[in-house]
Structure 1
Amino acid sequence: MLTRRKGVHLMRSDSGARRFWRWISVCLLLGGTALLAGCGDSSPPAQRPPSALPVNVITARMMTVPIYGEAVGNTQALETVEIRSRVNGHLLRRDFDDGALVKKDQLLFLIDPEQYQQDLAKAKAQHEYAKVSLELARKETQRYATLLRQAMISQEEFDLKEIKEQEAEASVLVSAASVNLAELQLRYTRINSPIDGRIGFALVDQGGLVSAGTTLLARVSTVDPMHLFFYLSEEDYLNLSDHFGDDFEDVIKTLDIQLTLAGGLIYQHIGHLDMFDREVDPKTGSIAARAVFPNPDGMLRPGMFGRVRVTLEQEWETLLIPQVAIMDTLGRKSVFVVDDQGLVASRGVEVGMRLNNLRAVRGVEPGDRVVVDNLQKLRPGAHVAPTVISYELEDSETTLTAPVGTPVSDPTDTSVSSPSADTSPSLPSSDTSPASASREETSEETEGALGTPSDGHPGDTSDAATGQ
């Protein structure tokens, strides 16, 4: 029994070993087949060609348009005078209403004159005493001259009398000057308006103490006409000079200037350019200009902001492309153009005057397809799928220039502009570059940035006026 059981056990062990080696053989066979299959084809898997980037393009073309120049500025009176007293004293009264129109030599303030009346009376009395002393000295000189001829006095005594007469004459002159000064001081107690214009608030109440040359009583400014100061960038100034030639300042002074006030109100009177400042501000790179507007009804007040618009030329034919298509890389202006095979190329351009949303350029030919979006994703030689869209000039009356820092338009927008027949370059102009360099500069529509003129501008005459 023991022998049989042992044989059975040996038979079972031999059968399990055969199954184990059979399983190992199958695994090795399958692994070798897979290895041979991998070594037989060593080429990488096929890659799909990159898809073309969709972009919007415009077909550049020549346009005949009127040229409008625009800038933002503020109004300043031709003359602004500070009213101050030339004498000390208490303010006795004022003879005007705050904010009223006043005439030249109209009485505005009266300083208490009592002290100055007494000073004048004293000066007149001293002058009379000096005249009497002079008369007495002259008579004594005449008597001494008679005695000298009779040899009754010496020459020295006569000379002394002549000197006394001369001293008396000098005293008369001094006393006369004192009278004139006292009269002048008394006259200064009446403070009159030095100009025709509008007066502001009275800054000292009745009874207040006034110090000569120090206390500011009020301000008066002229009404008609009115100045308007605005700024042009150095680039715009040079563009205008190049466009009109050497005598462009004389030519531009003959052009009509329209003024649009806050809220879009168009001022009914036409103005004209008066002058450019003598220098360009090196800090802002801009030059101040001054226009003159009639103001017969007094509607314009100093300090008001407005947009000036001047027609530079009625018909001008030039090639215009959207401002958003122009890139600025370290001062180099360029655009992307697409050929018939859909390949992108970079084209250097020279930029000219900006007309609202479009820019005049050289270096692009009519018919060239210029890319207007996705500029930051493109490189020369890239393959794109262009979609041609139309473009027109925006109406400056309804589409104003964006403030500094805002994009000119959405680069993903498929519409470059809205149709219009109006043209309006915003002064000063700017260039647009892709991605982080994309920006649009305008005349500062906020105070201090166009650098708009303020109190103390070189064109503002602020004199200290005193009593007349």
Structure 2
Amino acid sequence: MKCGKRSRSATMVAAVFMVMAGPVLAQTPPPQNVGVIELQPQPVARVLDVPGRAVASEEVAIRPRVGGIISEILYRPGTPIDAGTPMFRIDPLVQQAAVTQAQSNVVSAEAVVRQARTSFERAERLVGSGATQAEVDNLRATLDQAEAALAGAQSRFQMSELELSWTTVSSPISGIASLASVTVGDLVAANQQAALATVTRLDPIEVDLLEPAVRLQRVVEESRTGQLRQADELTATLTLESGRQYEARGELVAPGTSVSMSTGAIEMRFRFENPEGLIIPGMFLRGRIVFGESDVFLVPQTAARRDQTGAITVMVVEDGHVVQRALTATGSQDHHWIVPEGLEPGTLLIVDALSRIAPGMEVVPVPATVGEDGVVRPTPQEAPSGN
């Protein structure tokens, strides 16, 4: 009986020691190693990516200035033509007849002037001996009327010649001619509403870029406060619908002067060289406007999380612990978010092991690098020198 009691007592004492020793023997996991980069502000072009649409720098509707029957179509649709190139010919018989009649009226008026001048000069010589001053004055008035009639006849003759020249319809600008809306034999009228064709100039081409007024106001404010160093000239680049970067750089033609009531955007027009005709009117494009340069932080996109509102969050190391930061990006560049504020020079941004950490955790920062492709790579450690 005594042996049994001693055995149970020893077991209880052992259990008490095990409970007391438990917290002492448990091991706390070591701090997590995380890859970090040290952020420093750097000059970056201040750009805004906006939608745009191409418009012709020049476009003219070809309409007849005289009426008649189309007798010839003198151009090939879709080919470049120069200013002054004949495009249509209207049957000129009516206008030629008008020229002949106007010319005969001029000849008749010239004869009347000659007769009136002869009578006036004769009467002027015979004043006091065979003609009165009143007769001279009447003959002078007759001469003036004849000269006025001659001037009118000459003007009508010039107008008839001009209308005859209008029977050949030419392009006033250089560009690409469209399909004709008429065929040989069609009757056209002077200054009709329907155009015979259109000629569009494609080089240079102009692009309307639609910039949200709110973002443009932010750029203006940054310029006023000195955060933005303005460029000497406002320029833009384009991305085609195929995703190809357009090589030419555009210059500002006209800044926006009003805000659209439907979109809240300001329309800014830029002109681009277009020698190959890659851009045609009506084409939708993506534009990037360069406003100047500002000092910002470049945050790798792989190190940030972005929500539906556009805000991004990152993890940084402060005093050996993970801290979450909410930031606002104004754009992107080469797999990086452009962040103008919310960070300090020397901030240790966590770029690796993000899935294994949470705010408040103790971590050990390990230097890392982010390549141009946005991939995180560990920074090679220098080998210790030996003797």
Range into which the TM-score falls when normalised by the shorter chain: 0.5 to 0.7
Per the alignment, in what secondary structure is the counterpart of residue 55 of structure 2? strand
Equivalent pair of 2:312/2:329 in contact (CA under 8 Å): no
Per the alignment, in what secondary structure is the counterpart of residue 215 of structure 2? helix
- The Cα of 1:364 is off from its aligned counterpart by 6.3
Could you tell me how far apart the structure 1 residues matched to 2:312 and 2:48 are? 24
Based on CA coordinates, which of the two structures has the bigger radius of gyration? Answer: 1
- Aligned position for 1:251: 232
Per the alignment, in what secondary structure is the counterpart of residue 126 of structure 2? helix
- Aligned position for 1:132: 111
RMSD: 4.3
Could you tell me how far apart the structure 1 residues matched to 2:90 and 2:230 are? 49
Once the two structures are superposed, what CA deviation does each residue of 1:47-98 show, in whole Å capped at 9, x if it has no partner? xxxxxxxxxxx99966647444322212222111111111111111111111
Give unpaired runs (5+ residues) of structure 2.
1-35, 351-357, 362-368, 377-387
- The Cα of 1:233 is off from its aligned counterpart by 0.9
CA shift in 2, pair 1:220/1:64, >3 Å: same
TM-score relative to the length of structure 1: 0.57
Q: Does 1:301 align with 2:275?
A: no
Percent identical across equivalent pairs? 24
1:71 aligned residue (46, 50, 59): 50
Q: Does 1:266 align with 2:245?
A: yes
* Amino acid aligned to 2:271: V
- Aligned position for 1:207: 185
* Amino acid aligned to 1:180: Q
1:111-150 matches, cutoff 5 A: 111-150=90-129
1:324 aligned residue (283, 287, 306): 306
Aligned length: 318
Equivalent pair of 1:323/1:358 in contact (CA under 8 Å): no
Equivalent pair of 2:231/2:291 in contact (CA under 8 Å): no
- The Cα of 1:309 is off from its aligned counterpart by 3.2
Equivalent pair of 1:104/1:193 in contact (CA under 8 Å): yes
TM-score relative to the length of structure 2: 0.68
Equivalent pair of 2:59/2:199 in contact (CA under 8 Å): yes
- Aligned position for 1:167: 145
Could you tell me how far apart the structure 1 residues matched to 2:44 and 2:229 are? 18
Could you tell me how far apart the structure 2 residues matched to 1:291 and 1:159 are? 68
Q: Does 1:217 align with 2:196?
A: yes
- The Cα of 1:147 is off from its aligned counterpart by 3.4
Once the two structures are superposed, what CA deviation does each residue of 1:417-446 show, in whole Å capped at 9, x if it has no partner? x659xxxxxxxxxxxxxxxxxxxxxxxxxx
Per the alignment, in what secondary structure is the counterpart of residue 202 of structure 2? coil
By percentage of residues, which structure has more strand? 2
Q: Does 1:231 align with 2:210?
A: yes
- The Cα of 1:130 is off from its aligned counterpart by 0.4
Could you tell me how far apart the structure 1 residues matched to 2:296 and 2:159 are? 71
Equivalent pair of 1:236/1:353 in contact (CA under 8 Å): no
* Amino acid aligned to 1:220: V
CA shift in 2, pair 1:274/1:139, >3 Å: closer
- Aligned position for 2:4: none
Could you tell me how far apart the structure 2 residues matched to 1:166 and 1:274 are? 55
- Aligned position for 2:73: 94
- Aligned position for 1:456: none
2:339 aligned residue (360, 366, 369): 360
- Aligned position for 1:197: 175
- The Cα of 1:128 is off from its aligned counterpart by 0.6
- The Cα of 1:346 is off from its aligned counterpart by 11
1:279-290 matches, cutoff 5 A: 279-290=258-269
- The Cα of 1:335 is off from its aligned counterpart by 8.5
- The Cα of 1:252 is off from its aligned counterpart by 4.1
* Amino acid aligned to 1:84: R
Equivalent pair of 1:83/1:219 in contact (CA under 8 Å): yes
1:174-185 matches, cutoff 5 A: 174-185=152-163
Moved more, 273-282 or 60-69: 60-69
Per the alignment, in what secondary structure is the counterpart of residue 191 of structure 2? coil
- The Cα of 1:104 is off from its aligned counterpart by 1.0
Could you tell me how far apart the structure 1 residues matched to 2:69 and 2:222 are? 61
Could you tell me how far apart the structure 1 residues matched to 2:151 and 2:248 are? 58
Give unpaired runs (5+ residues) of structure 1.
1-57, 370-384, 399-417, 421-468
- The Cα of 1:134 is off from its aligned counterpart by 0.6
- The Cα of 1:361 is off from its aligned counterpart by 5.8
